[in-house]
A = this chain, B = another copy of it.
């Protein structure tokens, strides 16, 4: 695996493929607003939202609530209010992986040392706060198999993506956010085996998207790529596209409503929360049709 996009936007760049999105791409995307329909691509977030075994579930606590007042809490000037706190992994629910999330050989995207990511400093380089807002054209590539969800482990190949694009009458272009619908989340989210494997893109599909200059790759599974991995590899798509090409990944998307609306291209907007040194962020990606 090479360092495909290292240095492409300068030695200090921490934004990677998001640099493909310039004012032209934003204006082009703005013109896609036609019906005025707006669709959230985010899962609801709660202690019941599934998490992989190695992460703790979200916890959500009320610090002040209606029960306080019911039990006699004071309401100065009549005022009552509620507030709450969460404990939450940043790779939770519908979220984006920052470029510091995955790497190999102790080097992140663009050659930054992974030694800058540690308990005390968090990610000194390529943290999620470096991403900024994401506003560009979104494409939906629906790769369901005759309307049926793909099976666990099924690879989504370059050919499959090309066929989906042809069916939709769109072509993948530089600066696009490409959203790949496998049907996995609707089929499996409620299943205890949701995280045991998934359909998703393979390395060549990842490379094809990357070479097209996509800004972000998203999918309705938990890790973009098919699992089990090909023999003797571990998260090869993550390694290639995040580290090599500097492409952030959008995981856990809810894409069925977008497909149901017949959307193929649209204005895509997402605002990763700027956690300083964070490895990712839960967010609500939005499609505007």
Contacts and interface: CB of A to CB of B under 8 A. Distances in A.
B30 A26 contact: no
Contacts of A35: 23, 27
Contacts of A10: none
A55 B83 contact: yes
Contacts of A24: 36
Given A63-B119, A66-B71, A271 B273 contact: no
Contacts of A47: 56
A44 B106 contact: no
A221 to B, nearest CB: 17
A273 B283 contact: yes
Q: Is the interface on chain A under 10, 10 to 19, 20 to 34, or 35 or more residues?
A: 35 or more
A82 B117 contact: yes
Interface string A60-79: 11111111111111011111
Interface string A209-248: 0000000000000000000010011111011000000000
A166 interface: no
A55 B63 CA distance: 9
A270 interface: yes
Interface stretch (A95-103, A146-154, A157-165, A178-186): A95-103
